Amino acid sequence: MLQIAYALLVVALPAAPLYEAELVFPGEPKHNHSPGIVETADGDLLVCWFHGVGEKTDDSLVIRGARKKRGADQWSAPFLMADNQNLPDQNCVLFIDPRGKLWLFWISSLDNTSDTYLLKYRTSSDYAGDGPPKWDWQDVLHCRPVNLQQRYPESAEQAREEFAEEIKTNERLRTRLEYGVTASKDKLARRLGWMTRTHPIMLSDTRMMVPLYSDIFNCSLAAFTDDWGKTWEFSEPILPLNVQPSFVRKQNGDIVAMMRDKSPRRRIPRSVSHDGGQTWTQTQGMEIPNPDSSVECIVLKSGNWLLVCNDTTGGDRGGRTQMTAYLSDDEGKTWKWHRSLEKHDASTAAAYPSVIESRDGSILCAYTHSPSPNETIKVVRFNEDWVRAGDAAE
């Protein structure tokens, strides 16, 4: 009886706070940006990122990757994951589907502009060995947004009214809204320029939902496939003024999108779909600040939600000197706990989190780490108890 009681006591004890951090490779004066991370069935980690000397104007950009074997104490040397030669390759995302197939999504700009991004994807069934995965199939994800032509001009007008005073002094936003209205009337313009940034989610054993966004229209949408990428369908746009959506599904089936704010509001935009991601409510600002930077939210096995974001309204290094993990136990109604992953002066920035839950229940977050003038990819491992023991009172 004593042994049984002791066993029950051990099970009931809360986990100790856990936090570990490491660099995938030493910082270097190159652009190493916007990572994606997955954990394989064997417990290995794979990360990807784009590497070069700039962004869409740099034709030398490639997608790199690295691997950390289960139990290893360091990451492998970086290797090439994708290179559409003489085109800038960016915004890579990794995902492992329920069959165990590895996916890589990324973009290449055909004319070094935001409106000529072409969205690519490839898959692999052989990615457990050293070096890069052995790719067995790839294709272009041809985007066909639903009702963008009808909805965007009205949304742009609403944004002009809501942010009238700010738009008077914000030429970039004013010009982007005007250009978006013109582009929404052109079929090719509506279909190019869409990008990935955060992990897909599975709505069923076979239905994949991929988050997409456009810098031309400053809006987001979802792509869906029920046949592992052979055919695709698309949602209506999420409007207005948001990019880089992260999708989470509530227990009642509603899907919540949290995004990077492109409005003067400087709060994480939030939208809800009640029909499986086909249509969306108009975005509303959450209580959490957002300095025009990327976020990712996931549903943990515990049922709690974990959100990682930059949570300032701007300032040094674009407000990206502070990155925070938030924890909610009520599906995002409130965020009762938070803890800083990074908190620096202007010398160091951290941004573009890619978040997963490991099989052991810990949380893994890969992100761009920029101790000026260098840049690298950082991976941290922590757990819910570490967040709960954090600086929520600050």
Per residue of the chain (394 residues), give pLDDT as tens.
Answer: 434 443 433 344 457 999 999 999 999 999 999 999 999 999 999 999 999 999 999 999 999 999 999 999 999 999 999 999 999 999 999 999 999 999 999 999 999 999 999 999 999 999 999 999 999 999 999 999 999 999 999 999 999 999 999 999 999 999 999 999 999 999 999 999 999 999 999 999 999 999 999 999 999 999 999 999 999 999 999 999 999 999 999 999 999 999 999 999 999 999 999 999 999 999 999 999 999 999 999 999 999 999 999 999 887 778 999 999 999 999 999 999 999 999 999 999 999 999 999 999 999 999 999 999 999 999 999 999 999 998 653 4
Residue 117 structure tokens = 């991004």
Q: Residue 391: what pLDDT?
A: 63
Strands 31-39 and 45-52: antiparallel
Which among 8, 44, 256, 200 has a CA at the least distance from the CA of 133?
44
How far apart are the C-alpha atoms of 137 and 143, rounded to whole Å? 19
Q: Residue 18: what pLDDT?
A: 97
CA distances from 4 to 7, 13, 288 (A): 5, 14, 45
How far apart are the C-alpha atoms of 252 and 147, rounded to whole Å? 26
Q: Residue 316: what pLDDT?
A: 76
Q: Residue 62: what pLDDT?
A: 98
3-class SS of residue 230: coil
For 267, half-sphere exposure in the C-beta direction (CA atoms, 13 angstrom radius) is 10
Q: Hey, CA dihedral for 224, 230, 55, 374, is it positive or negative?
A: positive
Residue 328 structure tokens = 């909610």
List, in order, residues 6 or more apart from 190 with CB less than 8 Å away. Answer: 144, 145, 148, 149, 183, 184
Residue 28 structure tokens = 């270097």
Residue 137 structure tokens = 């199939």
Neighbour-count burial for 161-191, b at 16+ CB within 10 Å, e otherwise: eebeeebeeeeebeebbeebbebbeeeebbe
How many distinct helices (H) and strands (E) make up the chain?
A: 6, 25
* Total-model pTM: 0.94
Q: Residue 10: what pLDDT?
A: 38
Q: Residue 348: what pLDDT?
A: 95
Q: Which helix (H) or strand (E) holds 387?
A: helix 384-388
Q: What is the CA radius of gyration of the chain?
A: 21
How far apart are the C-alpha atoms of 336 and 387, rounded to whole Å? 10
How far apart are the C-alpha atoms of 367 and 383, rounded to whole Å? 17
Which among 155, 60, 147 has a CA at the least distance from the CA of 108?
60
Strands 201-202 and 219-225: unpaired
